[in-house]
Amino acid sequence: MTTAEPGLRADAERNRDRILAAARRLYAREGLGISMASVAREAGVGKATLARRFATREELVTAVFADRMDGYAAAVAEALADADPWHGFTSYIENVCAMQAADRGFADVLTMTFPAARALESRRDEAYHGLVELISRAKAVGRLRDDFTSEDVVILLMANAGVVAATADAAPDAWRRLVGQMLRAYAAPGGELSALADAPAPSALYRAMIRAGRAE
């Protein structure tokens, strides 16, 4: 029995790694709507094995996106370290939206709450408090509109998640146009603005609309 333990532990660790790798692939490609059963099939393990490693969806999501939530919190810290509050604010928005564009699952994570996933929510809270400070600083130097609130960032992330999901195949850079236009809406009058990304080609948007229709 004693000699079998190391082998059992190694098998369990391999299964855990396979599950995480499968979940990352599926979440990045399809978003968080993927079922636990689909993750088990992708990993090549049984549902019982998946349940032993991750009893709930929240546990799996936490394990998959822990590093990305660290990156999310780090983006706020980096923005706060910028000597130019407006540049820090715009860089933060662009970086976080780029993280969404790179991973549809993470795009969903940023627009959902997971009360049972305490580690994930703790990092989100940390990032939120930094964001509030970032907004205050950008307003103090007269570059961000006075009526802008942290809730506007949540709305933007929800909108960006939708754009990423709808255009990922046909117009993968469409989110950049959305973010650029929204930053112009957030800016106080008279400030210098960075160049706006080109609009997607009409044909690319049409393909995205067809794809979205088929998904319904």
Give the chain's domains with CATH numbers. Answer: 1-55 (1.10.10), 66-215 (1.10.357)
pTM of the model: 0.83
CA distance linking residue 174 with residue 136, whole number of Å: 29
191 has a pLDDT exceeding 90: no
Q: Please write the tens of the pLDDT for every residue from 85-132.
A: 999 999 999 999 999 999 988 888 888 887 777 888 888 888 899 999
Q: Please write the tens of the pLDDT for every residue from 137-180.
A: 999 999 999 999 999 999 999 999 999 988 988 899 999 999 99
pLDDT band at 30, cuts 50/70/90? confident
CA distance linking residue 11 with residue 124, whole number of Å: 33
State how far Cα 68 lies from the chain centre: 8
Segment 59-82 mean pLDDT: 92
